[in-house]
Amino acid sequence: MVEFDRREYTTPSPEDEIKIEERSTFQQAIAPCVPPSPPDGGVRAFLVMFASFINTGVVFGVITGNSLIIAAIQSNLASTNDGDASSKAALVGSLCLGTLLGLSPIGGIVSDLLGTRVAVLFGGLICVSGMSMSSFFSNNVAVLWITYGFMFGFGASFCYSPSLVILGKYFKRHLSKATGFVEMGAPVFGIIVSEILSYLIAAKGLSAALKALAILSVLPIITSLAYKKDIALPAPKIEKRFFNTSIWKNKRYVIWNMCCMCGQFGFYAPFAHIVKFSDINYPEQNSNMAIICISIGSVFGRIISGCVGDSGKINRITFQQILTILFGLAIMIIAVPGIPYYIFLIMTTSFGMLDGAVIALNTPIAIEICGIENANQALGFLFGLMAGPLILGPPLVGKIYDTTGSYTEGFLMSAAFIIVGGLSMFFIRLVKEGRPHDNEASPLLNNREQDSKRSAYETLVC
């Protein structure tokens, strides 16, 4: 006869019942705090990543071509003896990038409320409209401020930041690499677009070049189809707010924002004027080589940034700080009068590499500080605060050139702002590092605590 262990069928003691009840209560308590991890791969994830690569490439392919467009507008204005040709031409490019970043909060809000597909589709339509109108008013700089500067920048703000933030819903362990790949669209398209614009401006004129950019702007309309209804990662229901005030209670986010804002006074100005700078200092050389070197350097910078950012061996904010300071030093070297042409090309390549690496870290840092559910508006407002300095920087450097006949002083001023912004990031370390929701910016746990809770959960249920 088979004997059974009677202990398996004994009635639980009162102490055991209390433990079972506590176990059930604990499981229910931690369940909302342990969201499922992003898939970190798969057909859908890679399709979204490629669509975001295209969108970033289109937006910043145009931004990269700004220096050629600015130089062409400047030549047109100079032929009419306009004494403010440099500053007026630079304002076209700075308005474009400034509006792109300045209206990113609106793009983030629309993406939160209506989804990434709607935001990107709407942005693509505005980009095409603005660039098409620009091609018909290529000789009127005041109209270009509106159509090229404001309208394209407005549409681009709906294409760019939502395309970056959605990566956090598909990638976790490889988020920096995915972001680096997407951000690589900027230099890859930049090289192609700059060559096409250089040829068209020389052979057909500025109007033909703007028509080509209008055709390019159709791509985000097509890629918007790759985005489906956003996947929901967090288990807890998060209320969608039109304006997310909680991110401003996060002290680390606020300080990081202010530091980036300071650096942006100098970030774009040298890039906007690099073609004219090359024409003046190296008239016998192809000025387009500077853009090509910057774009090539940017490709490697974004790759390096992605790999180092995901390695876990260095804090992303510290890494961005180091890169920002080195970026400022590279611009200072470029500003030195009379440096040999090969040194100039080496430094423009370094310029591009450092710029690309710094930009590629923005999205992972925003997600790290504020959490994925707040990232759309966190990144949007970061870009929005960058807009003012970015709009003011290039015309200011152009005005200094119109007054002095040299870019040296303007470039050195830009480098100083960048270095000060980088050094200011030390203040972030004065704020205690904690979970996003420690600063009321996120109801979710950070990665390390999620892992700890999962381990505790597994211990209880096994």
Query: pLDDT at position 267, please?
Result: 82
Place 447 in a pLDDT band, splitting at 50, 70 and 90.
Answer: very low
**Tokens describing residue 455:** 């381990």
**Residue 388 predicted with pLDDT over 90:** no
Gap between the terminal Cα atoms of the chain: 32
Query: pLDDT at position 227, please?
Result: 87
**Which of 24-28, 208-212, 314-318, 435-439 ranks highest by mean pLDDT?**
208-212
Contact 61, 216 (CB under 8 A): yes
Angle between helices 14-30 and 447-461 (to 10 degrees): 150
CA angle 12, 16, 18 (to 5 degrees): 125
**Residue 43 predicted with pLDDT over 60:** yes
Give the Cα separation of 224 and 240 in Å (integer). Answer: 22
**Residue 198 predicted with pLDDT over 80:** yes
Q: Which of 19-23, 346-350, 355-359, 449-453 has the lowest mean pLDDT?
A: 449-453
Query: pLDDT at position 355, please?
Result: 86
**Tokens describing residue 391:** 């709009």
Computed over every residue of the chain, the mean pLDDT equals: 79
Give the Cα separation of 133 and 155 in Å (integer). Answer: 14
* Radius of gyration (C-alpha) of the chain in whole angstroms: 25
**Residue 405 predicted with pLDDT over 60:** yes
3-state SS class at 242: coil
pTM: 0.65
**Residue 230 predicted with pLDDT over 60:** no
Query: pLDDT at position 440, please?
Result: 41
Query: pLDDT at position 395, please?
Result: 84
Give the Cα separation of 112 and 123 in Å (integer). Answer: 15
Of the two residues 305 and 35, the one the predictor is more confident about is 305
Of the two residues 184 and 452, the one the predictor is more confident about is 184
Of the two residues 32 and 280, the one the predictor is more confident about is 280
Percent of the chain at pLDDT exceeding 70: 81
Q: Which of 21-25, 97-101, 396-400, 445-449 has the lowest mean pLDDT?
A: 445-449
Of the two residues 89 and 441, the one the predictor is more confident about is 89
Q: Which of 17-26, 329-338, 453-462 has the lowest mean pLDDT?
A: 453-462
Place 243 in a pLDDT band, splitting at 50, 70 and 90.
Answer: low
Place 143 in a pLDDT band, splitting at 50, 70 and 90.
Answer: very high
Give the Cα separation of 317 and 324 in Å (integer). Answer: 10
Query: pLDDT at position 195, please?
Result: 87
457, amino acid identity: Y
**Residue 170 predicted with pLDDT over 90:** no
3-state SS class at 172: coil
Give the Cα separation of 428 and 421 in Å (integer). Answer: 12
Q: Give the pLDDT mean for 273-294.
A: 85
Q: Phi and psi for 440 in degrees, rounded to 5? A: 60, 25
Query: pLDDT at position 433, please?
Result: 61
Q: Give the pLDDT mean for 282-311.
A: 82
Query: pLDDT at position 132, please?
Result: 93
DSSP for 320-384? HHHHHHHHHHHHHHHHSTT--HHHHHHHHHHHHHHHHHHHHTHHHHHHHHH-GGGHHHHHHHHHH
Query: pLDDT at position 14, please?
Result: 58
Percent of the chain at pLDDT exceeding 90: 19
Domains of the chain: 38-229+243-431 (1.20.1250.20)
Q: Which of 355-359, 373-377, 412-416, 447-451 has the lowest mean pLDDT?
A: 447-451
Q: Which of 90-99, 146-155, 304-313 has the lowest mean pLDDT?
A: 304-313
Q: Give the pLDDT mean for 354-366.
A: 85
